[in-house]
Structure 1
């Protein structure tokens, strides 16, 4: 058993993102294997309830990544922006000193960053001669619309990691030419709490109706509007029997989706994000993953485990999870007519869809457990220590 004290740096403090759930399950299982975890949060949030429930020690220290480390592509760099940036840099410097002091007092052996929207931990690791693992769960530009404020600084800092964990081969390829030593990149797929999502069942309990769910942040990159447009293309007899659940935390984009649904007489339920997302998945016939470019596709695996038939875009990490027409269905990126045809095929070939869903469930159950994920991370720790 490897006895290490590891400081984990979270990128978000709420449990409404796949990154938070993946981090939590990873920490819980690493803890069972001898790792003593300490978590650094950038601000207060409901992840604290989970950490307290598992007696995991944590600190809340502000870290302003936006505008100092990363920013929105096309950001308007004006005087107001630069003034805010200076204030954030000062706060970050104070936070860096606090983190460095805590890391020394806690006798931390290794620092593990849970994504690209955090960087102070990397600077502490560099200046304290502590091993660093950087977990990359995003493409940046293609999925989040983000870029580094200083590309060269980011390249240098990330490249100094002892190991770089990516959540899919697709993410790994996107950073091969960015980091100085691509041999540091290791693919470790996310792990899930299988028993939370798993349900052995039959889809299409009512053969005359189809329930489709799409889960994720309500932003254009997640493709909710694409799904609505694809359903609009369905034959009238299929469309009128189709219900769509759009599940995600409310944003201004919600109004765009509601307007389109109303104008096209689509049967849509808008459901705010819930930590018990599995209850909706287990009542869905189809789960659609319409993201422009999903780094891993946690919802893909959740959907498979729930017993639904999963349909995803042939982009990002999704094709690594879905074997077309075997354990799910793939459609070409932005090819809404193909997506519509697949949905219609599922509705009219329900026995085939059931077989595909069952194979997807078995595939997810066998390959994406949180225990397996933790063992892979633990092996990596042993390799670099």
Structure 2
């Protein structure tokens, strides 16, 4: 089946795009993917290593003239016809408006993949009706569409990439980590809903009682400098690592993954940590409540109770046996429920039902 996978941006921004990339690499031979992006960038470059990529500019819906919309639609239709596309899969709202409208005019089924829970009242009603199927990554995101049928397919994780491994001593040395220090990691964009101010406050409480603990934050974003100022009193007990390409190696260094996001739609970092056998401490909020099994693969605490979160982290850091128990169970759950190959088969089955 020839499928056009249409993405909102040519650059990599968040977990939704990483999920789309991993799906692209996990399709069976029954799928012939064509990736359509509005511009070249880091996402397009990565996609080009897995499939053919075509650029079709898709102007902003709110800040451009109708002529630009029409021109984009004509170009998309030409791409679909030239490549013999049989189904369209749109990863986001802006590209869904373009791709969904054109797909309907061309008589093609279209899947709208929704990975965030923020409603768009101006568009959601229309996009639901353009879609043959709306697929969401969690039951939490499905609440965005009350009274509307959606298909819940959780994101997948590449188990070959995110697997237990021996920590690299040279990476620990590069980061200045001592052999007897405990490591707490978070991987997140520096934006408000990731709750990184809470990550810093939990770090303060933990370091006060267990000074040989280091907190690592991998990620960048508009709040990075503000977060660094907030954490100045922690000195070298917290490291801001910026964007990293070696997340599996960083996770291998970690004793605990501390995920402080609020109202997280899904939480890729959680299933990546589980796949690597790292226990997770997170807030009982959003889609994370569907992936973290409390007391089995990690610990969940009330979003308003930072002291309980600090206690949960301290308890795991003090108990290698409990860390191992939660980590091993997390691995089993990741293999059973979140293997990217299973995710791809579910998406392919969805394609078949749409035809």
User: Structure 1 residue aligned with 2:55, among 53, 60, 68?
Assistant: 60
In the other structure, the counterpart of 2:173 is none
Deviations 1:107-166 (A, max 9, x none): 2111101123422101111222210111111112xxxxxx53xx2543122233111111
| Residue correspondences, number | 345
What is the Cα deviation at residue 326 of structure 1?
Answer: 1.1
Contact 2:164 2:252 in 1 (8 A): yes
User: Structure 1 residue aligned with 2:68, among 91, 98, 114?
Assistant: 91
Q: Secondary structure at the match of 1:174?
A: coil
User: Structure 2 residue aligned with 1:34, among 30, 39, 44?
Assistant: 30
In the other structure, the counterpart of 2:162 is 197
TM-score calculated relative to the size of structure 1: 0.84
User: Structure 2 residue aligned with 1:135, among 107, 110, 113?
Assistant: 113
Q: Residues 201 and 328 (structure 1 numbering): CA distance in 2 closer, same or farther, change over 3 Å? A: farther
| Cα-Cα RMSD | 2.2
Runs of 5+ unmatched residues, structure 2: 168-176
Q: Residues 156 and 170 (structure 1 numbering): CA distance in 2 closer, same or farther, change over 3 Å? A: same
State whether structure 2 residue 178 is matched by structure 1 residue 186: no
CA distance in structure 1 between the partners assigned to 2:281 and 2:70 by the alignment: 45
In the other structure, the counterpart of 2:46 is 50
CA distance in structure 2 between the partners assigned to 1:137 and 1:361 by the alignment: 24
Contact 1:16 1:275 in 2 (8 A): no
State whether structure 2 residue 352 is matched by structure 1 residue 357: no
CA distance in structure 1 between the partners assigned to 2:137 and 2:40 by the alignment: 26
In the other structure, the counterpart of 1:222 is 194
In the other structure, the counterpart of 2:100 is 122
Contact 1:116 1:137 in 2 (8 A): no
Q: Secondary structure at the match of 1:108?
A: coil
Contact 1:61 1:95 in 2 (8 A): yes
State whether structure 2 residue 219 is matched by structure 1 residue 248: yes
Contact 2:207 2:213 in 1 (8 A): no
Deviations 1:262-300 (A, max 9, x none): 134461111121232111011111112211111111110
Q: Residues 328 and 370 (structure 1 numbering): CA distance in 2 closer, same or farther, change over 3 Å? A: same
In the other structure, the counterpart of 2:89 is 112
Q: Residues 58 and 252 (structure 1 numbering): CA distance in 2 closer, same or farther, change over 3 Å? A: closer
Contact 2:37 2:54 in 1 (8 A): yes
Q: Residues 197 and 235 (structure 1 numbering): CA distance in 2 closer, same or farther, change over 3 Å? A: closer
Q: Secondary structure at the match of 2:281?
A: strand
Runs of 5+ unmatched residues, structure 1: 69-84, 141-146
User: Structure 2 residue aligned with 1:24, among 3, 21, 26?
Assistant: 21
Q: Residues 200 and 317 (structure 1 numbering): CA distance in 2 closer, same or farther, change over 3 Å? A: same
State whether structure 2 residue 3 is matched by structure 1 residue 6: yes
CA distance in structure 1 between the partners assigned to 2:290 and 2:179 by the alignment: 30
Q: Secondary structure at the match of 2:57?
A: coil
CA distance in structure 2 between the partners assigned to 1:8 and 1:154 by the alignment: 20
User: Structure 2 residue aligned with 1:173, among 140, 143, 148?
Assistant: 143
CA distance in structure 2 between the partners assigned to 1:58 and 1:234 by the alignment: 47
What is the Cα deviation at residue 207 of structure 1?
Answer: 9.2
What is the Cα deviation at residue 25 of structure 1?
Answer: 2.1
CA distance in structure 1 between the partners assigned to 2:235 and 2:204 by the alignment: 9
CA distance in structure 1 between the partners assigned to 2:201 and 2:67 by the alignment: 46
What is the Cα deviation at residue 235 of structure 1?
Answer: 6.3
Decide which moves more: 114-123 or 294-303: 114-123
